[in-house]
Amino acid sequence: MTITKNEITAWLKETNESKLDELWHRADKVRHENVGDEVHLRGLVEISNYCVRKCGYCGIRVENRSIQRYRMSADEIISCVNDAKNFGYGTVVMQAGEDFGLTANFIAGVIRRIKAETGLAITLSLGERTEEELVLWREAGADRYLLRFETSDSALYEHIHPSLPNKKSNRFEHLRMLDRIGYEVGTGVMVGIPGQTFDTLANDILLFREFDIDMIGVGPYIPHPETPLWQESDGLSLPTNRNQVPNTELMTYKVVALTRLVCPETNIPSTTALATLNTESGRELGLQRGANIVMPNITPTEYREKYEIYPGKACLSETASQCNFCMTGRIISIGRKVGRGPGSRRKKSVD
Ligand code: SAH
């Protein structure tokens, strides 16, 4: 039975706890029936914090001069990927700012080495790169690409994610291009960005259904003091702010659960941003309300604090090995199993 936009909006506005228990149960049941009890682990390597963009929400935007920039070498990346392989992860995710210092050939070389040396599935999350680059990387062996559309309100999108000169940013077009090239595509949105209304968020959730999506990541928007949106972020969660979606933990669980109902078979991570709002049990609650993926951070500790897209990020001072131990413990503690292998939704391109 499909869920309508009115129903989605009603759930987003629901405050009654016992009513919400119904939503959590439904999402958990749909998750269990469609993707099972295994939780797949995808090792996240944050390979560079250089970025050409001026995104209003993001702490590694080009205009933030207070962070030290880094770019990992191929050997450093491969060493992290070997950790992932040893921990039994089936996939590595290489994420970065939009950094053209990560040249097409450099990334293609790293992809070929990862495939040759570990055979792991490879996900890229490197922003809006050219078609030529994306084709080269796909041919080199990359399997998936993550690019959140952030919001489906085009005016709000341009406000929070200004286009580069002479090139209009259109992430929906980019997602279609990635799909055409043969990537499994992941997308998602932030919950509670200033200016995001319940109506827009309901549209976002319905749009997830339109793409044949491998993964949908949703996390709360967390204001960063070194960004323009910081100024606009006062009072996001005040009940007087009637149309504004609050950037709360509860709202994020609702979006995770509704995303599961809309896309029963997709992979949904319980995100680090969620764990940042509730370090105690955010990961577990995400997994119990629709999610089936976690992305342990395998970035070397010295670089983690420099990849500060938002402040107070969970797991900042941990090593890859500590993150692995912690994540597997959390999965087992809620009666779920640690998944092995790439955890691919569409088997054709990865297995
Ligand atoms: N440069 C890449 C990777 C960006 S980081 C890209 O643009 O796709 C990955 C995600 O982190 C972003 O897509 C955004 O949704 C999220 N993010 C960035 N800043 C954030 C913030 N302040 N609070 C919460 N999530 C944030």
Task: Check whether 246 has a pLDDT greater than 80.
Answer: yes
Cβ atoms of 309 and 127 within 8 Å: the answer is: no
Whether the per-residue pLDDT at 161 is higher than 60: the answer is: yes
272 C-alpha to ligand 1 centroid (Å): 11
Q: What are phi and psi of 149, to 5 degrees?
A: -85, -5
| Confidence band, pLDDT 50/70/90 cuts, at residue 345 | low
150 Cβ inside 6 Å of ligand 1: yes
Percent of the chain with pLDDT over 90: 90
Q: Which two tokens stand for residue 47?
A: 């390979």
Q: Distance from the CA of 187 to the center of ligand 1, in angstroms?
A: 11
Task: Please say if the pLDDT value at position 350 is more than 70.
Answer: no
Which of 169-178, 246-255, 333-342 is least confident?
Answer: 333-342
Residue nearest to atom 8 of ligand 1 (CA): 127
Tokens standing for residue 122: 């490879």
User: Is ligand 1 within 6 A of the CB of residue 222?
Assistant: yes
Average pLDDT of the chain is: 94
pLDDT over threshold 60, residue 351: no
Instruction: Quote the ligand 1 centre to 96 CA distance (angstroms).
Output: 10
Q: What's the pLDDT band for 212 if we cut at 50, 70, 90?
A: low
Q: Which amino acid, residue 105?
A: N
Q: What is the predicted pLDDT for the residue at 238?
A: 86
Q: Hey, whose CA ends up nearest to atom 1 of ligand 1?
A: 97
Question: Is the CB of residue 219 below 6 angstroms from any atom belonging to ligand 1?
Answer: yes
Contacts of 276 (CB under 8 A, 6+ apart): 220, 222, 282, 310, 312, 313, 314
Q: Whose CA is nearest to atom 25 of ligand 1?
A: 221
Q: Are 88 and 340 a contacting pair, CB within 8 Å? A: yes
Is residue 309 lining ligand 1, measured as CB closer than 6 Å? yes
Atom of ligand 1 nearest to the CA of 51: 1
98 Cβ closer than 6 Å to some ligand 1 atom: yes
What's the pLDDT score for residue 344?
65
The total of other beta-carbon atoms located within 10 Å of residue 330's CB is 19
Element (H, E) at 288: helix 282-288
Render the burial of 235-258: b for 16+ CB within 10 Å, e for the rest: ebeeeeeeebbbbebbbbbbbbbb
Cα 38–40–46 angle (5° rounding)? 165
pLDDT band at 347 (very low <50, low <70, confident <90, very high): very low
Q: Which atom of ligand 1 is the closest one to the Cα of 310?
A: 22
- Is 339 in contact with 295 (CB distance < 8 Å)? no
Residue of minimum CA distance from atom 24 in ligand 1: 221
Ligand 1 pocket, residue 211 CB under 6 Å: no
Confidence tier at 1 by pLDDT (50, 70, 90):
low
Tell me the CA end-to-end span of the chain in Å, nearest whole number.
Answer: 31
Going by alpha carbons, the residue nearest to atom 10 of ligand 1 is 148
Whether 208 and 262 have beta carbons less than 8 Å apart is answered as: yes
Tell the residue nearest (CA) to atom 6 of ligand 1: 127
Q: Could you tell me the pTM of the whole model?
A: 0.96
Best CA proximity match to 296, nearest among 282, 277, 315: 315
**Is any atom of ligand 1 closer than 6 Å to the C-beta of 45?**
no
What is the chain's alpha carbon radius of gyration, rounded to the nearest angstrom? 19
Is residue 95 lining ligand 1, measured as CB closer than 6 Å? yes
- Residue by residue, DSSP assigns 67-124 as S---B--HHHHHHHHHHHHHHTBSEEEEEESS-TTS-HHHHHHHHHHHHHHT--EEEE
Euclidean distance between CA atoms 120 and 111, whole angstroms: 10
pLDDT at residue 228 greater than cutoff 90: yes
| pLDDT one-digit tens code per residue, 95-129 | 999 999 999 999 999 999 999 999 999 999 999 99
pLDDT for position 80: 97
Atom of ligand 1 nearest to the CA of 95: 3
Nearest to 289 by CA among 250, 240, 344, 232: 250
How do residues 277-327 score in pLDDT, each as one tens digit?
999 999 999 999 999 999 999 999 999 999 999 999 988 889 999 999 999
More confident residue, 317 or 163: 163
Task: Kindly give the distance from the C-alpha atom of residue 309 to the centroid of ligand 1, in angstroms, as a whole number.
Answer: 6
CA atoms within 13 A of residue 326's CA, in its CB half-sphere: 19
